[in-house]
Amino acid sequence: MVAIKQISIFMENKPGSLARVAKTLSGGGVNIRALTVAEAGDFGVIRMVVDDTAKGYQVLRDGGFTVSETDVLAVELKDVPGGLYEIAKTLGESNINMDYAYAFVTAKAERALLIVRVDDLNGAVEVLQKAGIAIATRQEVQNI
């Protein structure tokens, strides 16, 4: 399976929330690959992809955070105009909905990855692969 695990954390929307998360991960020696914060008024959800998901999940749980793991895809994004369009079009034409997405550029800046959560994971993998769009595996994300 090419899906990777994303960690989501429930946070109250107040000063210092993100700092507590970051401190906990840093204490556990977990490196953040990509991160996004979604806010909804008084609370928010921090979503992130880390190098070692199992360890990240554990240190956050032990730190008293409300954590969940979600299957997402790390889709390779060509660093040219129209890169995002290609992915979005492919999924849209197959009637696959993106719940949310966020992108990051890899450390070596060789490629960009789009983390995307879809309502039909298997369908998305199939149509993306058929369209010749690469999807990074867990191993690849870990080794970035």
Partner 1 sequence: MFRYWNPHIERMPVDDLHKLQEDRLRSLVRFVYAHSSFYRDRFRETGVEPDDIKQLSDVTKLPFTQKIDLRNTYPTGMFCLPGDWVVRYHVSSGTTGKPTVVGYTQGDIDMWTDSLARALTSIGLGRGDVIQVGYGYGLFTGGLGLHYGAEKIGATVLPIGAGNTERQIELMQDLGSTAIACTPSYFLYINEVAQNMGISIRDDTKLKVGVFGAEPWSNETRKRIEEATGIKAYDIFGTSEMSGPLFTECHLQNGIHVWADLFLIEAVDPDTDEQVADGERGELVVTSLDKWAFPLIRFRLGDLTIIDHEPCECGRTHPRILRILGRTDDMIVVRGINVFPSQVESVLMRIPEVGDHYQIIVDRKGPLDVMTVEVEVTEQVFSDKIADLMTLSNRISKELRNVLNITAEVNLVEPGSIPRSMGKAKRVIDKRQV
Residues near partner 1 (CB under 8 A) are 6, 8, 10-12, 38, 40, 42-43, 45, 47, 61, 64-68, 70, 99, 117
Is residue 13 within 8 Å of 41, Cβ to Cβ?
A: yes
Least distance from C-beta 80 to partner 1, angstroms? 30
Please give the Cα distance from 115 to 132 (Å, whole number). 17
Least distance from C-beta 4 to partner 1, angstroms? 14
- Residues contacting residue 6 through CB under 8 Å, at least 6 positions apart: 47, 48, 49, 69, 70, 71, 72, 115, 117
Nearer to partner 1, 114 or 133 (CB): 114
- The DSSP letter of residue 59 is H
Three state DSSP letters for 62-105: HCCCEEEEEEEEEEEECCCCCHHHHHHHHHHHCCCCEEEEEEEE
Least distance from C-beta 85 to partner 1, angstroms? 25
Nearer to partner 1, 12 or 110 (CB): 12
Least distance from C-beta 43 to partner 1, angstroms? 5
Nearer to partner 1, 61 or 89 (CB): 61
Nearer to partner 1, 93 or 99 (CB): 99
Least distance from C-beta 81 to partner 1, angstroms? 30
SS3 (DSSP) at 20: helix
Nearer to partner 1, 119 or 126 (CB): 119
